[in-house]
Chains A and B, each alone.
Chain A
């Protein structure tokens, strides 16, 4: 049972380059999330998708775009990477329609922007 799979695990970009972080879940969850985790800042929500076909901004959406490709996949795109986007990015999913269900996380993508 894979759960939530994120690719790539590591990435180094130069300022201005673009890339897409991929996330897929096999638990039939409707809701999916993208967080970034920085030292001393905790997990901050970038974007979320409550269900297939919908996406909404979280706390720190600037510089990012998302696509909910289908029920399984939720991608995060950096159009023009900046050093401030150096971080660890986590994708998560949760059970549909249940407000008090836990999140299931992938193991993250470690991104460095030089």
Chain B
């Protein structure tokens, strides 16, 4: 059964203190790994898609990387506005050809000024 595990569950950083969030997965036939950001009271907002091991994507202070078993979301010199819950999801081929994303439980990030 496909599984997606995110760690840590919660992370507190000081402004400017760089760190990484982890998403490990066990799927067969990975079609894509996705990172989302979710602010309180809002729906998840898409950040990145990674398709193959070795791929990297960047957006402002965020960089996502992918290996065959895990993905990292690196946050460089974070600011308080980066505080949010970050969700990881994987899509793999399912029976009947439907691509159903499986989500991890998320990492809650708080950046203190």
* Chain A interface size, under 10 / 10 to 19 / 20 to 34 / 35 or more: 20 to 34
Contact B42 A56 (CB under 8 A): no
A53 in the interface (beta carbon within 8 A): no
Residue A45 contacts which of B32, B87, B93, B100 (CB distance < 8 angstroms)? Answer: B100
Secondary structure type dominating chain B contacts: strand
Closest chain B residue, CB of each to CB of A104: B46
Residue B49 contacts which of A50, A56, A102 (CB distance < 8 angstroms)? Answer: A102
A100 in the interface (beta carbon within 8 A): yes
Chain A residues contacting B91 (CB-CB under 8 Å) are 99-100
Q: How far is the CB of B100 from chain A (nearest CB, A)?
A: 7
* Chain B interface size, under 10 / 10 to 19 / 20 to 34 / 35 or more: 20 to 34
Closest chain A residue, CB of each to CB of B30: A100
Q: How far is the CA of A29 from the CA of B21 in the complex (A)?
A: 31
Contact B104 A48 (CB under 8 A): no
Give the 7 A-B residue pairs with the shortest CB-CB distance, closest first: A105-B43, A100-B32, A99-B99, A42-B105, A102-B46, A43-B103, A99-B31
Chain B residues contacting A44 (CB-CB under 8 Å) are 103
Q: How far is the CA of A100 from the CA of B99 in the complex (A)?
A: 8
